[in-house]
Chain A
Amino acid sequence: MAQGIGISSAKEAPPRVNEWRRFFRVFLGRGLVVFGMVVILAFLVAAIFAPQIAPYDPLKRNLSEALQQPNAQHLLGTDAIGRDTLSRLIYGAQISLIVGVLVVCIAGGIGVILGAIAGYFGGIIGAVIMRSMDTLMTIPLMILALAIAALLGGGLKNVVIALGFGLIPGYARLMSAQVLVAKETDYVMAGHAMGASNWRIIFRHIVPNCFSPILVVITMMMGTTILAEAGLSFIGIGITPPTPAWGSMVSDGRNYLLTNPMLSIAPGVAIMLLVFSFNMVGDGLRDALDPRLRGII
């Protein structure tokens, strides 16, 4: 009997080291996840060291070299005013990643706080917050971003505000559902018994415990954000020219589809690669962090 109890409690509390080992085994066990990590790291390096890596100045016009096909000097060719496509692509990674990270910080920060408050306190505060989220969700992201950009104008800062605002509900809904469950757990009751304040319980205990699902959503939302920013830049209300953004590069290449298809194709492939990678890493994180899958994989 005593032995039996000993075994079961050992199972319930495995040493922490194994937890990490299992995380990496599951996370890095799938080829596509590793591929995604490599691609994200590559784009990150390209973005950070763009001035060193890019062969040319992405803004430098050179009309004598305009509309070149891919060649040894310009690996992906040049655009209508002679700017090097590869260099613009490398600098474009900066914009996509900066927008992605900032939007995640804003939407994630506000969404997690609102969701936690709604889930924890419920009642009228909760209802007001959640109905506001419902309202925000009925307006398609693209349309909302369009309207906000119409009010504030284009540019990096306003794109971040528009998308950061529009993506709040995703985080808030997830968080409030998580908190509703966490509220009933023993550690929250223990917190109350020790006289911790509501805010302390929410932000020191509940929020850190919901870290895994939030991390998965953040990774997935990076993809959504990068796609949306590209869409906004494509219709000309996102990042303002001449700053190289992938979406506006696809748009700029439209008039040269027949003669220089690479101008539009290359930035599109970059968008796809990066978004695909974030989605794959998100899938991998979900598998590795989901407690229900513990013991199965």
Chain B
Amino acid sequence: MLSYIIRRLVQSAIVFFMITLFVFLVMRLLPGDPIYMIMSRAASETATEMQLDKLRHQYGLDRPMMVQYFSWLNGVFHGDLGVSILTNTDIRQSLMKRLPITLHLGVLALIISFVLGIPAGVICAVRRGTWIDTVVTSLANIGITIPVFWLALVLMYFFALKLHWLPVFGYTSPFTDFWMNLKQIILPVFCLAVTSIAVIARQARSSMLEVMHQDYIRTAWSKGLKERGVVIKHALKNGLIPVVVIIGLGLSGIIGGSVLIETVFAIPGMGRMAVEAMGNSDYPVIQGVILVFAVMVLVTNLLVDLSYGWLDPRVQYK
């Protein structure tokens, strides 16, 4: 067990360094001069060669690549992600403002996916072949197919523009106006969750179907247990392990979705920050956003893997 934990930690550390190397290198593969990393293209064209050289030296762009990487990495470890080209503000500070918004929506979406997805999948498995199974499975198939940005527009059309039940878009802090916030986030959170609800329901259904055929379930039935007892006390414990494992995948999907959903609903979170930075070729910001998102997924996957042994003692950690 201990050696498994250590090996998994080492692996994650390696992947973390590869992420930083990737993020650093990709931005250096920029066509043209890395001076674009610190100033906009327009500004660099008007500057004289001497000014550019001075800036290059000031930011260490004339040093060897490896030295630059390690000094950048050193900054990352100290929470220094550089300065936005466009607004000239500290990237860490804008991240601190925007990350909580994305997390607020993302975590709610993740919780909703599990709360809705698991019971849906379990009911399908237990009532296999009935109309409930058909309906829920079809809905799940549609859920993994639907373009979330389109669903967002359709829901916005009905609930905000036609029925006027909800605000069209925007984001208010829950600490300023809790009810307004709640009304504003209902649609975005639902849209973010749709795909992962469907994925989780499908996974729960198939793994519960597998478990329900096993010998110990037959034993539970033959002891005369009621269906509730068999399903909840016996089958669920093993049936849900594969579902927990896909948390990382779900999170990754929700982060990807936040790019689209925050754009549709004009929510000032990290997804929108990524889109804006991309539109303005604000490379240091893009670097920071990728890094934060990747680390979130990496840590989630690590936690899932570590808890795997606790959830499933049959795993021998080989």
Quick check: A230 and B147 within 8 Å, CB to CB?
A: yes
CB pair A279–B22 under 8 Å, yes or no, is: no
List A contacts of B259 (CB < 8 A). 142-143, 146, 231, 235
> Which A positions have Cβ atoms within 8 angstroms of B?
131-132, 134-144, 146-152, 223, 227, 230-231, 234-237, 247, 250-251, 253-254, 257-258, 261, 264-265, 267-268, 271-272, 275-276, 279-280
Complex: A150 Cα to B141 Cα, angstroms: 33
The contact sample of 10 A-B pairs, CB cut-off 8 A, is: A138-B15, A138-B301, A139-B19, A143-B259, A227-B145, A253-B153, A261-B157, A268-B147, A272-B150, A276-B145
Q: Is the CB of A231 within 8 A of B15?
A: no
Please tell me if the beta carbons of A140 and B293 are within 8 angstroms of each other in the complex: yes
Known contacts A139-B290, A235-B259, A264 near B153 by CB under 8 Å: yes
User: Are A138 and B281 in contact, with the CB atoms below 8 A?
Assistant: no
Alpha-carbon distance A132/B11, docked complex (angstroms): 11
Q: A271 CA to B149 CA in the complex, in Å?
A: 11
A142 and B257 contact, CB distance less than 8 A: yes
B12 nearest in chain A by CB position: A134
Interface: B139 (CB within 8 A): no
Q: B270-318: which have CB < 8 Å to A?
A: 274-275, 277-279, 281, 283, 286, 289-290, 293-295, 297-298, 301
A268 and B150 in contact (CB under 8 A), knowing A143-B293, A234-B260, A235-B263?
Answer: yes
Q: How many angstroms from the CA of A247 to the CA of B263 in the assembled complex? A: 14
Name the distance in Å between B236's Cβ and chain A's nearest Cβ: 25
Q: Across the A-B interface, how many residue pairs have beta carbons closer than 8 Å?
A: 138
Interface residues of B (CB under 8 A from A): 11, 14-15, 18-19, 22, 26-27, 29-31, 141-142, 144-151, 153-154, 156-157, 161, 252-253, 255-257, 259-260, 263, 274-275, 277-279, 281, 283, 286, 289-290, 293-295, 297-298, 301
Docked-complex contact B257 and A138, CB < 8 angstroms: no
Verify A139–B294 contact, CB threshold 8 A. yes
> Could you tell me if A150 and B150 are in contact, using CB atoms closer than 8 angstroms?
no
Contacting pair B145 A257 (CB below 8 A): no
Using A131-B15, A139-B290 as known contacts, say yes or no to A235 and B154 having CB atoms under 8 A apart: no
Residue in B closest to A264 when the chains form the complex, CB atoms: B153
List A contacts of B157 (CB < 8 A).
257-258, 261
- Which applies to chain B's interface (DSSP): helix, strand, loop or mixed? helix
**Bound state CA distance, A279 and B137, in angstroms?**
13
Instruction: Evaluate contact between B154 and A279: CB separation under 8 angstroms.
Output: no
B154 touches A265 (CB 8 A): yes
Bound CA span A149–B141, Å:
30
Query: Is the pair A272, B146 in contact by a Cβ cutoff of 8 Å?
Result: yes
Whole-angstrom distance between the alpha carbons of A143 and B15 in the complex? 18
Q: How far is the CA of A254 from the CA of B154 in the complex (A)?
A: 10
Q: A147 contacts which of B142, B161, B290, B297 (Cβ < 8 Å)?
A: B290
B148 cross-chain contacts in A, Cβ below 8 A: 231
Among A147, A148, A236, which residue has the most Cβ atoms of chain B within 10 A?
A: A147
**Do residues A131 and B14 form an inter-chain contact, with CB atoms below 8 A?**
yes
Q: Are A257 and B147 neighbours in the complex by a CB distance under 8 Å?
A: no
Given contacts A132-B18, A151-B29, A230-B147, is CB(A276)–CB(B290) below 8 Å?
Answer: no
